[in-house]
Amino acid sequence: MTTETNSVLNSVKEAFAPVTEAFTKLQNLEVPEAAREFVKKQAEAAKTRAADAYAGSEKVTNVIETAVAGSVTEAAKISRNIQQAIYQDAEAFFAGIDKLASAKSLSEAAQIQSDMVRARGELFVSRAKATTEYLGKLVTDGAKTAQDNFAKVYGKTA
């Protein structure tokens, strides 16, 4: 029975030998320079468009912020932070594409991708923490304002 098992195992190994060899060669496949340059140019053009869109959104936010006061200022601040986060995400994405375009092998590209995913995760945690702190401050400030207003009303009726 063991001889039959070894025979089957050897047959499977022989049958998949070309696939294994092809996969080994694919990992070290070089990406042509022209392809890397094309991706870099496209990423740079998209990066420029993202910067233009960000500048336009900043102008819109400034107009809104100037036109209205009070609680809208907080909304404008939130909007600006969201816009900045989107812009930073776009910049990081295009920088990542630029790095990936520089990869000369699939294994190097996989390492770059892994580093990018890890950095995105760290950024997500950082933003979540900052958002939680910001919302906590807003709630605290809102409660304080409500308490002050209640005290003013209560003081007048007493």
pLDDT for the residue 152: 62
Stretch 74-97: mean pLDDT, rounded? Answer: 84
pLDDT for the residue 66: 60
The answer to whether residue 154 scores a pLDDT higher than 70 is no
* DSSP designation for 70: T
Binned at pLDDT 50, 70 and 90, residue 63 comes out as low
pLDDT for the residue 133: 86
Rounded CA separation 44/91 (Å): 10
pLDDT for the residue 130: 86
Q: Can you tell me which residue has the tokens 């912020």? A: 65
The answer to whether residue 37 scores a pLDDT higher than 70 is yes
pLDDT for the residue 95: 87
Q: Pick 28 or 14 by higher pLDDT.
A: 14
Rounded CA separation 32/102 (Å): 10
Q: Note the Cα 127 to chain centre separation in Å.
A: 11
pLDDT for the residue 27: 67
Rounded CA separation 80/134 (Å): 14
pLDDT-above-90 percentage for the chain: 0
Rounded CA separation 64/100 (Å): 39
pLDDT in tens, 87-118: 888 888 888 888 888 888 888 888 888 998 89
Average pLDDT, the chain: 78
pLDDT for the residue 139: 75
- φ and ψ at residue 68, rounded to 5 degrees: -130, 150
